[in-house]
């Protein structure tokens, strides 16, 4: 029973129940190819939600993640199309380093200059999106311009699973280790819970924020290549508005927008939940416009649940504080 009171097991049960409910309405949804596509479709959202979780834990937000993805993806697509003989590793590295550089810009402005994350990343979101247009001159890079190996890699299977799934799994392991077992991760939670106290005990807040946003940018850059390669097209509107889906996945997964609370598993489950909704609506012949409404409703419910949990924790602290005051008065 205690297990069911935790956020992650409950969310996992909700995902399973949702899949079964959709399967009763449309049995094709429960077939092996359909479930495999569901997992593959969730991979990019999972990767971005994992690093966004670390950002939100610090009381920040990265609204530029989708624009970073678009710009990095365009860099990869144009580099491959103009240099078809270039090794794929160097193309992927260029996309990842582009994303890292863009993320470090955010981290420097937020960490070193102590500027508000929402304002900075809102500004860089527009700048990076504009640079996609400048770089491409508004033109598309389509499938026939991309090398065959460039397009094939994301869905190429290794041990029966697409490379996309393996990369997402590796991202989960790395971010999960950072969040739970590294000093870097513990420092991020300390910054999110009490920024002033974190500074007093010697946590290098500016440096931690710099590399947290850098890590978010690095994964966004990698996801940029995977996005344009999987869909075999690069254009200025790639992943437009996807940053809000990423943030929604984190919130649904129990990552507190107030900072200091969140887990890698929760972010993954939040991403899976949104992917199930997105894949279920077409199968059930529901208008795609309902997806935004349902996603917004789920976010509101998740925020209310998080707020309720915070109120309960506050109520538990108050009696203990009051008892200590009474004890001090009695001793005096």
**Pairwise CA distance, residues 282 & 92, whole Å:** 32
pLDDT of residue 191: 93
3-293, which class in CATH?
mainly alpha
pLDDT at 288 (0 to 100) = 67
325 membership: H or E segment, kind and range: helix 289-331
pLDDT tens digits for 96-149?
Answer: 999 999 999 999 999 999 999 999 999 999 999 999 999 998 888 989 899 999
Please give the residue that has the higher pLDDT: either 122 or 298: 122
Q: H-helix or E-strand containing 158?
A: strand 157-158
| Residue 11 clears pLDDT 80, i.e. is over it | yes
- Residues 63 and 41: their CA atoms lie apart, in Å, by 21
Tokens coding 174: 């790395």
Task: Give the mean pLDDT of 57-65.
Answer: 95
Residues 239-296 have pLDDT tens digits of 998 999 999 899 989 898 888 888 999 999 999 999 988 888 777 777 767 767 777 7
Give the CA-trace dihedral at 141, 143, 146, 148, to 10 degrees.
170
Q: Which carries the bigger pLDDT value, residue 98 or residue 28?
A: 98
CB 171 within 8 A of CB 43: no
Section 13-28 average pLDDT: 87
Mapping DSSP to helix (H, G, I), strand (E, B) and coil, where does residue 234 land? Answer: strand
Judged on CB neighbours under 10 Å (0-12, 13-18, 19+), 317 is exposed
Q: What is the pLDDT of residue 306?
A: 64
DSSP 92-111: HHHHHHHHHHHHHHHHIIII
- Banded model confidence at residue 313, pLDDT cuts 50, 70, 90: very low
What radius of gyration, in Å, describes the C-alpha atoms of the chain? 21
**What is the predicted pLDDT for the residue at 154?**
94
What are the φ/ψ torsions at residue 125 (nearest 5 degrees)?
A: -55, -45
The pLDDT assigned to 96 comes to 97
Query: What are 168-224's pLDDT values in tens digits?
Result: 999 999 999 999 999 999 999 999 998 888 888 889 999 999 999 999 999 999 999
For helices 88-107 and 205-231, the axis angle rounded to 10 degrees is 140
Q: Give pLDDT, residue 320.
A: 43
Residue 162, H or E segment: strand 161-162
User: Which pLDDT score is estimated for 254?
Assistant: 87
Check residue 157 and give left, alpha or beta (phi > 0: left; psi -120 to 50: alpha): beta
pLDDT of residue 323: 47
User: Residue 321: pLDDT above 50?
Assistant: no
What pLDDT score does 9 carry?
86
Averaged pLDDT for residues 30-44: 91
Contact present, 178 and 170 (Cβ < 8 Å):
no
Per domain, the residue ranges of the chain are 3-293
Q: What was the pLDDT predicted at 173? A: 97
**Residue 284: its pLDDT value, please?**
77
């Amino acid at each position: 029973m205690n297990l069911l009171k935790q956020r992650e097991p409950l969310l996992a049960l909700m995902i399973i129940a949702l899949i079964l409910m959709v399967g009763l309405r449309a049995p094709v949804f429960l077939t092996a190819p359909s479930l495999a596509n569901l997992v593959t479709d969730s991979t990019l959202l999972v990767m971005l939600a994992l690093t966004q979780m670390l950002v939100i834990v610090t009381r920040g937000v990265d609204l530029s993640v989708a624009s970073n993805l678009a710009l990095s993806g365009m860099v990869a697509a144009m580099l491959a199309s103009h240099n078809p003989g270039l090794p794929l590793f160097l193309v992927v590295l260029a996309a990842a380093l582009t994303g890292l550089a863009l993320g470090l810009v955010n981290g420097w402005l937020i960490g070193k200059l102590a500027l508000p994350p929402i304002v900075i990343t809102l500004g860089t979101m527009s700048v990076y999106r504009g640079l996609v247009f400048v770089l491409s001159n508004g033109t598309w890079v389509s499938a026939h311009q991309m090398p065959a190996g460039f397009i094939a890699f994301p869905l190429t299977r290794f041990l029966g699973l697409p490379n996309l799934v393996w990369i997402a799994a590796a991202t989960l392991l790395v971010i999960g280790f950072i969040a739970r077992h590294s000093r870097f991760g513990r420092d991020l939670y300390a910054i999110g819970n009490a920024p002033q106290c974190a500074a007093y005990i010697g946590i290098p807040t500016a440096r931690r924020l710099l590399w947290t946003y850098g890590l978010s940018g690095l994964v966004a850059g990698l996801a940029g290549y995977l996005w344009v390669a999987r869909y075999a097209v690069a254009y200025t509107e790639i992943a437009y508005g996807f940053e809000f889906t990423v943030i929604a996945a984190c919130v649904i997964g129990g990552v507190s927008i107030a900072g200091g609370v969140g887990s890698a598993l929760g972010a993954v489950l939040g991403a899976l939940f949104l992917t199930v909704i997105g894949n279920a609506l077409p199968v059930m012949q529901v208008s795609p416009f309902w997806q935004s409404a349902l996603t917004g409703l789920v976010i509101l419910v998740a925020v209310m649940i998080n707020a309720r949990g915070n109120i309960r924790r506050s109520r538990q602290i108050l009696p203990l504080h009051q008892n200590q005051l009474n004890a001090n008065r009695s001793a005096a």
